[in-house]
Chain A
Amino acid sequence: MELKLITANLGKINPSSIDDYLAHGGYRALQRVCDATETVSFTHDLKAAGLVGRGGAAFSTGLKREMAIRAEPTHPYPAPEWIPERYRYSSSFVVCNADESEPGTFKDRLLLEGDPFCIIEAMTITAFLACATVGFIYLRGEYPLAYERLTHALRVARERGYLGKRILRDDFAFDIEIRRGAGAYICGEETALFESIEGKRGEPRAKPPFPTDKGLFQRPTIINNVETFANIPFITLEGAQAYRRYGTKQSPGTRIVCVSGAAQKPGAYEIEMGTPLRYVIEELAGGLKPERTLQAILIGGAAGVFLKPDEIDVPLAFESLDAIGATFGSGAIVVLDDTAKMWGVLLRLARFFRNESCGKCLPCQIGTQRQLEILERMTQGRSRKLEQTDISPEELRLLRDTGAVMRDASLCGLGQTASNAILSAFDKKLIL
C-alpha cells in the first residue's frame, strides 16, 4: 500500500522555510538526541529497526554507524599536512550520497527539492552520534534546483543555529558543505565519491579498508543515501518498535519506488515494503496505456534485473525479490510494453556501461566494451525481432563468460553488476 512515512512533508511544506519545517515536527529528533544523557541507545535502536541502505547495496545502516563510531582514529594529532586545513580536525565525516545517476531513479531529487531540512537534520543527528564536525552532501551536477534549495536551506539552518557552532548545546559543532558532481555515474560508488570530494578523478578504491575505517581523507566516514537519511529522524524519534510496525519482518519500513517507462502515471511513490509489484504498476502508476501488453519490467535500474510479465505478483521487499533472483537496487521500475524493442534496450544498457566504466580495473574496462561488441554482433544484419534460435550459442557463452569475469573480478559495483540486466534478459527468454 502507499504509505507516506518519509515523504509526508513533500508538497505540504515550503521547502525553503525552516519555520514550516519546525511546525511539522522538524528538529524534534535532533533535540531529543542532544538532550539525551547517553547516546548508545540511538545506534542500537537504528540497528534494531532493521533499516538498510536505500542506495542499492542494502547494507545495515545501524551496523555502518556502529562500525564508524568504533573505528580506531587513523590519524591522531597532530593531524597530517595533506588534509586540507578546514577538515583536519574532524575525527570522522558524515557524507550524504546524492549523486543519483542510476537511470530510472529520481527519488533523491524529489526528497532534496521537497524536504531539504529533513536530510540536513538527519546528517546532524548522525554527526552528533559519530562525533563528526564536517559533513558533505555530494549532489549530482544535473540537479540545479536541488542545489539552489539545499544552499538556501543550509544558509537558513546556519542562521538559526542548527548548523555551525553550539548546535542546541555548548559542545556540539557541525557544518555541511555541498559538493557538486560533474557528470560521472561512477561517483555514486562510495569510494569513488570520496576521491571526487578530495578533488581527484572519481575512481573507486579497493575495499577493504571500508569507508567506516578509512573513508574520506582516510578518516572513518558514514556515507548514506538520501533516502536512508530521510528515515533517520523518524526512527530517532519514534524508536525501532514503531518503525518495525511497517513493512515485512525482514524488510521493515517503506521504500520509494520510481515508476517510469510505459506506465500511464509515471512517478515516485512511497510504498510499504512487501507491496506487490502489480499494485504499484496497475494501481499507483495507472497501468499500461490501453491496448498494450506488458513485455518486461526492469527493476533496480541499469544494474538491476528484468522481470517477466508473469512475475508481476512478487512482493516488493528485499527477501522476496532475492528469492526470484532479482534485486531492489535503487528502487527504479521501468515498465516495458510490447512496443519497446528489447534488443534496443539491451544495446542501450550495454552502451551505458561501456561509457560509464571509469577504466581503473581491467575486467570492467574491457568487459563492458566486449559485452557491447558481442551484443552488436548478435543484432548485426538482422531484424530486431529475430527468433530465439538465431542467437548463436558460442556468442551467448562468450557473453556469459564476460559477465562472470566482470562480476567476480571487478573492483566496484559498476563492473560487478554491469552484466546483470543483459544476462537476465537472456535467462528469462525475453529476447525474441
Chain B
Amino acid sequence: MLRHPKKKHRQYLYQGDPLAAPPPPELETILERHRGRDDALITVLEEIQNHYGYLPQRQLQYTARELGLPLSRVYGVATFYNLFHFTAPGRYMVRVCRGTACHVNGSRQIIHALKDKLAINEDESTPDGLFSLQTVACMGACSLAPVLVVNDNTYGRMSPESAVDEMEKLKRENAILDAEVRA
C-alpha cells in the first residue's frame, strides 16, 4: 500500500498578544493626557509624529487601544490628512509649494530640478535618509512665491538653481553636524 508522504506542518507558535506589554514610556506620556478622549485623536497622532518623525504601526495600535477606538478609525483619520507619514522621512523634509502663485512663478521647474538633484520622485526619500521630497497645495506664503519649505523653514523667491544650492548647503550643514556628533 502506498503511503502518503507525511504532510509537513509549519509551526505557528502563538507568542501572546503583541500589545500585552504596556506602551513604551514616551508613548505613555503622550497618551496619558488624552486617554479615553476620542476627539483628541488628531492631536495624539500629531504628537506621535513629532516624536518619532512618522507614525509607526505598533504605536497606532497602542493608540487605538488606549483611546478606545477601532484601529480602522485611527487609520482612517491618519490616512486622510496629508501631513501624516507612515514611513520614516529624511532628516530634511523638503516641501515644494505648487499653489497657483508659485506655479506661475515657476515652481514646476524647481520640482524638476530637485528631482534631478536628489534623484528621487515626489513622496520618496534619498537612500542616505537625508532628504524627502513632497509637494503641497499652498503654503500660505504666496507673496514670496515660489516657495520651498525645509522642515519648518521657509525659503522664498527660489529659482531652480538656488533650490539646488540650498540642498548643497543643507548637505554640508549635515556633514558638519555629523562631525560634531562624532567628535
Contacts and interface: CB of A to CB of B under 8 A. Distances in A.
Interface in B120-141: 136-141
A284 interface: no
Chain A interface residue number, banded: 35 or more
A102 B138 contact: yes
Interface in A180-202: 180-185, 196-202
Contacts of B37: 84, 199
B45 A104 contact: no
Contacts of A355: 137
Interface in B94-109: 98-101, 103-105, 108
A114 to B, nearest CB: 14
User: What DSSP secondary structure best describes chain B's contact surface?
Assistant: helix
B66 to A, nearest CB: 14
Interface centre among A104, A105, A199 (most CB of B within 10 A): A199
Contact of B142 (A181, A196, A200, A266): A266
B136 A183 contact: yes
B80 A142 contact: no
A82 B144 CA distance: 45
A95 to B, nearest CB: 14
Interface size class of B (residues with CB under 8 A): 35 or more
A32 B99 CA distance: 42
Interface in B137-160: 137-145, 149, 152
A103 B138 contact: yes
Contacts of A197: 39
Given A182-B45, A182-B83, A334-B100, A142 B139 contact: yes
B89 to A, nearest CB: 14
B64 interface: no
Contact of A201 (B40, B77, B152): B77
A260 B143 contact: yes
B76 interface: yes
Nearest to B39: A199
B11 interface: no
A10 to B, nearest CB: 14
A325 interface: no
B77 A185 contact: no
A261 B40 contact: no
Given A182-B81, A258-B143, A266-B145, A196 B104 contact: no
Interface of A: 84, 87, 100-106, 108-109, 140-144, 179-185, 196-202, 258-262, 266-268, 298, 301-302, 332, 334-336, 340, 344-345, 348-349, 352, 355-356, 358
